[in-house]
Amino acid sequence: MGHYVPHTDAEIAGMLRFLGMSSLDELFASVPEALRLAAGLDMADGLSEPDTLDAMERLAERNRRAGRELVCFAGGGAYDHEVPATVRRVAFRSEFVTAYTPYQPEVAQGVLQALFEYQTLLCRLTGMEVANASLYDGASACVEAVNLAVAATGRQTVLLSDGVNPNWRQVLETFAAGTGHDYVRCQIANGVTRWPDDAQPAALLVQYPNHVGCLEDLAAARQLADNAGALLLVAFDPVAAGLLHSPGHFGADVVVGEGQPFGTPMSFGGPYLGLFACKRDHVRRVPGRLVGETVDADGRRAYVTTLRTREQDIRREKASSNVCTNQTLIAVACAVQLAWLGTDGLRELALRCARGTRYTRDALLAMDGVDPLSDAPVFREFAVTTPVPGDVVVERMAEEGFLAGVPLGDEYGERGLLISVTERRTRDEIDAFVGAFEKVIR
Amino acid sequence: MSPSAGGRATSAPIMGRDAEPTLFELSAPGRRAASFRTTGVPEWTPAELVPGEHLRGDPAPIAEVSERDLVAHFTRLSHRQYSVDLGAYPLGSCTMKYNPKLCDDAASLPGLTDVHPAAPAPLTQGWMELLAQLEEALCRITGMHAATLQPPAGAAGELTGLLLMRAWHEEHGNPRRKVVIPDSAHGTNPASVTLGGYETVTVPSDRRGLVDVAALRERLDDDVAGIMLTNPNTLGLFEEDIAEIAAAVHEVGGLLYYDGANLNAILGVTRPGDMGFDIVHMNLHKTFAVPHGGGGPGAGPVAVSERLAPYLPGPRPVVGDDGAYRWETPPKSIGRVHSWHGNALALARAYSYILANGGDGLRRVAEAAVLNANWLRTRLRGIYDLPYDRPAMHEFVASTSTLKKGKGLRALDVAKRLLEEGFHAPTVYFPLIVDEALMIEPTETESLQTLEALGDALERIAGGDAEDARHAPRTTPVRRVDEARAARQLIPTWDARE
């Protein structure tokens, strides 16, 4: 139907005359005849706007969305946090949504300043000195952290904790096929990583809190990294930063993470936000875009993407990364949400998650047959084992109106269930969840 | 042509001129916007919940602002930002078309946004069907057999494609060492080649602006894993010898990779699969109207021919005989390339755009995109150099080479002057093989009247004083920024200021 092409038939005819052409087909004269689609695309014709939205709604209705009918206790890298109206209304203004990468800083100060503020907020959360303007997701941030560590140390081996999100570890393995990086898998015992003490790796990669919810001993990991001359890479939970020490406090060199909890609905997994921050020593190896403050020709404060010689469009095959399009809009939403929370609100958010988690965990562990995966301290999610496997619990709990958690793979021992409790969960919801849980595990 | 009906819409700059304080300057201790649900959960103290060695003393300092000030701050920032919704954005190679608003609504449906990505398949049938249908639509558009929607951006799609290439060759002997790319290629191509574990071999363009086929043949041997091509290429020209190129690459056992950056030009006209490509990535944020978001998010799905389908990333949504969707990882999969299922809401936007346009509408997109580019190219003939002055596709490359020799007018100055005229600038100094390049892509959504205004502005700039142009822009939120200072005295955060 082409509703979005403004040309009238008369205008098209006039424009073709201007070009000395008599038909639109002539525009494609350089496409060899044999390659042209004589019959057009084998697809349905276009729909009107209401018909399109009807079709999309019919698909959306075939999902069971999280909400009162399916109360969400699932986490594992995607969390059911509140997204305030302010974020939805302000971060998604069309000036932010429909702008390109800020290559012309004179007309892109809005996005540039928002990114500068995002970088500042991320550094304050992580205890780092430099943050980039975003990567794709938690997995890609891990990949880039490893690439930085390998380039910085000249070593190829990385100690990879089993406590790192399993999907992210799969992505690391996928990209290792090209870079030749070698991952040494480090298992977790009683909830925390057991590191080999005789390795000479480029880095240790650890998650804090880890995938089964437990608080890793980052001080010990730092000590091990120092002994080996390796970098400490920490995948952190930005919500935890409201209550826990920052990874920077423990001496992390690079901090990465998944920024979805701030301002992004669960969205079936994307677009999310790859958080990346590091010590200033590594600034020339930072992947992707970095915004810096400077002045304009009149000496007024201005912002611009900087240290551009790291990037692919200039450095080509020697670039620090191939990333070009990133997740800027999601980073802006993250900045808006963090500012909305504020210093006090971030602490309260973390505290509320921890309280709900404690309340839920205590109630579940009081049941016969429900055991903790470990005794290590947890923060906002925890793993249990039950008489029936985790995926069966999830299936049965869905009938009761709950998304009970994320089933854990065999690598964590018995087939357990990872349960997450955000600030949105009320005592009544938790009590009902516990009641249903008791019923389905038998 | 005389402008008559349709008016003369320029996007005269109406942007905020006053500096905006940072969030940190607006902050006052004790202010806050946040509010939380009443839950009734017991109120344990932090010390009761977290062991002392993990517990932060002071809270992480964020910013302390009221909701009203926060909204005003970001609203004022938005007024210091140019965007497609404000006006034309003829940024070559970026396909900055208007993004239909219906796609915003489609991607905001709670049945799509409020779904956990690890929820079991029976609870997410709508999403899985959407993704499977999008895979199929993209395969029909590109002439390929199967697709993955996981890559979250074009560069991620490139790397995924190169890893598919590597997996294929590994299974058929050895991974090989080299990947060929033209000298006009985007920078992401060589950067991805390196990350794929390959060496870049550059093939020059000939005088037509196309791949020099003889030079390509000299570079082909059984150590070449494949070639990465953009078609039409970054000069906006269709690689007319593509069938011959494909045959030559396939003859040495190499694979052809299609960089979909310029797919907009050929929708419904021709397909990469018919040209002989084995692997295709698409930039849904260019061709299929996912807005660019100031730099992202996008989506970079990869489609492949039948022989490469077993290597695709997984899991993929697959429909059974009972009509139910389940997740399945292809047998020889290279593995996962995204935390979950790709940039799902961006994929939903693209799917709604494809539904709304349909096969007929997509062809019309390509026609109008190519018509607009050629109209503007012809309009500028005799005013700017047109180093490859032949019918272009969706974009063309002009140059100020003669204007620079004559009076010192550089491409950069034209770009900055155009900002004063109320348009976004074209891409400048790319592709690298053209001196003082201005790469212009009007896209199909700009009207004839907008093209006329843009043409007039570019003519005015070319005829204007070059010394004066060096002072542009003067009507924008800030004037030219000191990039050298930004790099020399790096201030990456508010806290890094002296």
Ramachandran category for residue A2: left, alpha or beta (phi over 0 → left; psi -120 to 50 → alpha): left
- The token pair at B213 is 């086929």
A&B contacts, CB < 8 Å: 744
Would you state the pLDDT for residue B423?
94
Question: What confidence score (pLDDT) does residue B436 get?
Answer: 97
User: Measured in Å, how far apart are chain A's first and last C-alpha atoms?
Assistant: 57
Cβ(A97)–Cβ(A329) below 8 Å: yes
Please tell me the class of the A71-83+343-440 domain.
alpha beta
Q: Which one, of B266, B233, B238, B265, lies nearest residue B394 by Cα?
A: B265
Classify residue B329 by burial, with Cβ atoms within 10 Å: 0-12, 13-18, 19+: middle
| Cα dist from B228 to A317, B180, B216, B225, B430, whole Å | 14, 6, 12, 10, 18
Query: How far is the alpha carbon of B402 from chain A, nearest alpha carbon, in Å?
Result: 24
Asked if residues B288 and B282 have their Cβ atoms less than 8 Å apart, the reply is: yes
- Token digits of residue B186: 């985007």
**Would you state the pLDDT for residue B15?**
82
Q: Which of A131, A271, A355 sits opposite B345 (nearest CB)?
A: A271
| Min distance A200 CA to chain B CA atoms (Å) | 23
DSSP state of B321: T
Sketch the domain layout of chain B as residue ranges: 105-356, 358-484
Starting at the edge strand found earlier in the chain, the sheet holding B437-440 runs B396-399, B437-440, B427-428
In a mutational test of the A interface, the residue from B50, B98, B475, B494 whose CB has the highest number of chain A CBs within 10 Å is B50
| DSSP secondary structure letters along B424-485 | PPPEES-STTSTTEEEE---TTS-HHHHHHHHHHHHHHHHS-HHHHTT---SSSS-SB-HHH
Residues of B in contact with A247 (CB under 8 A): none
Q: Cβ of B294 and A18 within 8 Å?
A: no
∠ Cα B221 B281 B288 (to 5°):
155
| CB-CB contact of B388 with B145 (8 Å) | no
Q: Can you give the three-state secondary structure of B436-453, one letter per residue?
A: CEEEECCCCCCCHHHHHH
Ranges in chain A annotated CATH 3.90.1150.10: 71-83+343-440
- CA-based Rg of chain B, rounded to a whole angstrom? 25
Neighboring chain B residues of A391 at a CB cutoff of 8 Å: 120
Q: What pLDDT is attached to residue A1?
A: 45
Name the phi and psi angles at B490, rounded to 5.
-60, 125
CB neighbourhood size of A148 (10 A): 25
The predicted structure's pLDDT at residue B8: 66
Contact B126 A105 (CB under 8 A): no
Nearest to A223, CA basis, from A193, A197, A255: A197
Q: What pLDDT digit, counting tens, does each position of A55-98 carry?
A: 999 999 999 999 999 999 999 999 999 999 999 999 999 999 99
Question: What is the pLDDT at residue A415?
Answer: 82
| CA distances for A308 relative to A66, A311, B185, B415, angstroms | 42, 6, 18, 19
* Rounded-to-integer distance, Cα A434 and Cα A419, Å: 12
Question: Judged by CB atoms within 8 Å, which residues 220-239 of A form the interface with B?
Answer: none
- pLDDT of residue A142 exceeding 80, the answer is yes
Q: Tens of pLDDT along B127-165?
A: 999 999 999 999 999 999 999 999 999 999 999 999 999
Q: Do B355 and A52 touch (CB under 8 A)?
A: yes
Contact assignment for A343 to B63 by CB distance below 8 Å: yes
| Residue B256 and residue B277 in contact, taking contact as beta carbons nearer than 8 Å | yes
A219 contact residues in B (CB cutoff 8 A) = 53
Query: For B105-356, which CATH class?
Result: alpha beta
Measured between CB atoms, which of A7, A56, A379 is closest to B50?
A: A379
Cβ–Cβ under 8 Å, residues B76 and B16: yes
Cis peptide bond N-terminal to A271, omega within 30? yes
Q: What is the pLDDT of residues A354-401, one digit of tens each?
A: 999 999 999 999 999 999 999 999 999 999 999 999 999 999 999 999
Contacts of B101 (CB under 8 A, 6+ apart): none
Cα separation, A218 vs A216, in Å, equals 6
Give the pLDDT of residue B1.
44
pLDDT at res. A175: 97
d(CA A271, CA A138): 11
CA of A418: which chain B residue's CA is closest? B118
Distance CA B80, CA B77 (A): 5
List of chain B residues with pLDDT < 50: 1-3
Window 58-97 of A, Cβ < 8 Å to B: 58-67, 70, 72, 74, 76-78, 80, 82, 84, 86, 89-91, 93-97
Assigned fold of B358-484: Aspartate Aminotransferase, domain 1 (3.90.1150)
Q: What is the pLDDT of residue A413?
A: 80
| Complex prediction ipTM | 0.98
How would you write chain A as a 3-class SS string? CCCCCCCCHHHHHHHHHHCCCCCHHHHHCCCCHHHECCCCCCCCECCCHHHHHHHHHHHHHCECCCECCEEECCCCCCCCCCCCHHHHHHCCCHHHHCCCCCCCHHHEHHHHHHHHHHHHHHHHHHCCCEECCCECCHHHHHHHHHHHHHHHHCCCEEEEECCCCHHHHHHHHHHHHHHCCEEEEECEECCEECCCCCCCCCEEEEEECCCCCECCCHHHHHHHHHHHCCEEEEEECCCHHHCECCHHHHCCCEEEEECCCCCCCCHHHCCCCEEEEECHHHHHHCCCCCEEEEEECCCCEEEEECCHHHCHHHHHHHCCCCCCCCCHHHHHHHHHHHHHHHHHHHHHHHHHHHHHHHHHHHHHHCCCCCEECCCCCECCEEEEECCCCHHHHHHHHHHCCEECCEECCHHHCCCCEEEECCCCCCHHHHHHHHHHHHHHCC
Decide if A399 touches B, using CB distance below 8 A. Answer: no
Average pLDDT, chain A: 96
> Which residue matches tokens 């990874």?
A247
Architecture of the CATH domain A86-335: 3-Layer(aba) Sandwich (3.40)
Residues in contact with B356: Cβ distance below 8 Å, sequence separation at least 6, in sequence order? A1, A3, A46, A47, A48, A49, A52, B100, B102, B103
Peptide bond into B442 cis (omega under 30): no
Rounded (5°) CA angle A142-A144-A145: 65
C-alpha–C-alpha distance, residues B226 and B221, integer Å: 10
Which residue bears the tokens 């809401």? Answer: B345
Q: Helix A390-399 vs helix A427-440: angle between axes, to the nearest 10 degrees?
A: 120
Given the structure tokens 């290279």, which residue do they identify? B334
Q: Residue B3: its pLDDT value, please? A: 47
pLDDT tens per residue across span A277-301 = 999 999 999 999 999 999 999 999 9
pLDDT of residue B10: 61
| Disruptive mutation site among B69, B81, B282, B447 for chain A (greatest number of A CBs within 10 Å) | B81
Phi-psi region of A77 (alpha: psi -120 to 50; beta: other; left: phi over 0): left
Task: Give tens-digit pLDDT for A47-56.
Answer: 999 999 999 9
Q: What is the model's pLDDT at position B9?
A: 60
Whether A123 has its CB under 8 Å from any CB of chain B: the answer is yes
Q: What percent of chain A has pLDDT over 70?
A: 100
Q: Bin B133: left if φ > 0, else alpha if -120 < ψ < 50, else beta.
A: alpha
Would an 8 Å CB–CB cutoff place A176 in contact with chain B? no
Best residue of B329, B340, B443 to probe chain A, by most A CBs closer than 10 Å: B340
| Neighboring chain A residues of B99 at a CB cutoff of 8 Å | 97-98
In terms of CA atoms, which chain B residue is nearest residue A138?
B339
**Across the interface, which of B77, B100, B359 has its CB nearest the CB of A114?**
B77
Chain A residues whose CB is inside 8 A of the B493 CB are: 116, 119-120, 123, 129-131
For A422-441, write each residue's pLDDT tens digit.
Answer: 999 999 999 999 999 999 99
**pLDDT reading at A305 higher than 80:** yes
User: What pLDDT does residue B11 have?
Assistant: 61
**What is the nearest CA distance from B407 to chain A, expressed in angstroms?**
23
Cβ <8 Å between B293 and A294: no
Decide: B362 and B267 in contact? Cβ < 8 Å: yes
